[in-house]
Amino acid sequence: MTFITFEGVEGSGKTTQIRLLMAWLQAQHDRVLLTREPGGTHIGEQIRAILLDPAHTAMTPEAEILLFSAARAQIVRELIRPRLAEGWIVICDRFADSTLAYQGYGHGLPLEDLRRITEFATGGLKPDLTVYLDLDVEIGLRRKAGTEEWNRMEAQTLAFHQRVRAGYLALARAEPHRWLVLDATQPIDVIQAHIRARVREFLHGA
């Protein structure tokens, strides 16, 4: 069983890289699932709509973490764990590290509390590999600004996103064996080649 997550700051090209990796994996394996957080299940997608609604400016960081965690508790049990148990490769666009980076480093909620809540939500499930696409946040936000994808999280201040990025880098430094940190300013095919090389090693146990 292989559980791979993707993380990145806004506009890092995560979606493009996931799409390319999926095409490559599906050409070699029957059992590959792509899902995303928040969302991925019927219940989770409804929670996602509440979380990302630009009208919900009054949402407190505490409410936010519990909603993200509720969606996570659902997707882990309804989708991710059962598929992993059946031998699928599961790719998830964002997972628990997003909570530590955004709600923890970004909003300043205590990391210890977040780790406890996350542990409860995931039942201890951790990714085998986490690909992080690292990018200067001003470049990333400029790439996304004004597009339809602009949501409540992206409307945060620049300083918030800079803390998120620093948070990701700190998380990656703390667990270097799990993280693959890539410079997202590189050409798309170069980034994809790095990802495939690491995933190949992983799948073949090298």
Which residues form the interface with ligand TYD (CB under 6 A)?
Answer: 10, 37-38, 52, 68, 93-94, 98-99, 102-103, 149, 151, 153-154
Cβ proximity to ligand TYD: between 86 and 149 the closer is 149
- Rounded to 10 deg, the angle between the 137-144 and 158-174 helix axes is 120
* Cα 205 to Cα 35: distance, rounded to the nearest angstrom: 24
Q: Which residue has the tokens 């990714």?
A: 127
Least distance CB 3 / ligand TYD (angstroms): 15
Q: Which is nearer to ligand TYD, 3 or 102 (CB)?
A: 102
Pick the closer one to ligand TYD by CB: 149 or 201: 149
Q: Residue length, the chain?
A: 206
- Smaller CB separation from ligand TYD, 35 or 103: 103
75 vs 180, beta carbon nearer ligand TYD: 75
Q: Which of 18, 8, 21 is nearest to 139 (CA)?
A: 8
CB of 35 to ligand TYD, least distance (A): 11
11: left (phi over 0), alpha (psi -120 to 50) or beta: left
- CB 204 → ligand TYD: shortest distance, Å? 29
Instruction: Kindly give, in sequence order, each residue whose CB lies less than 8 Å from that of residue 17, ignoring residues fewer than 6 positions away.
Output: 6, 131, 133, 188, 191, 192, 195
Q: How far is the CB of 102 from ligand TYD (least distance, A)?
A: 3
Least separation in angstroms between CB 30 and ligand TYD = 27
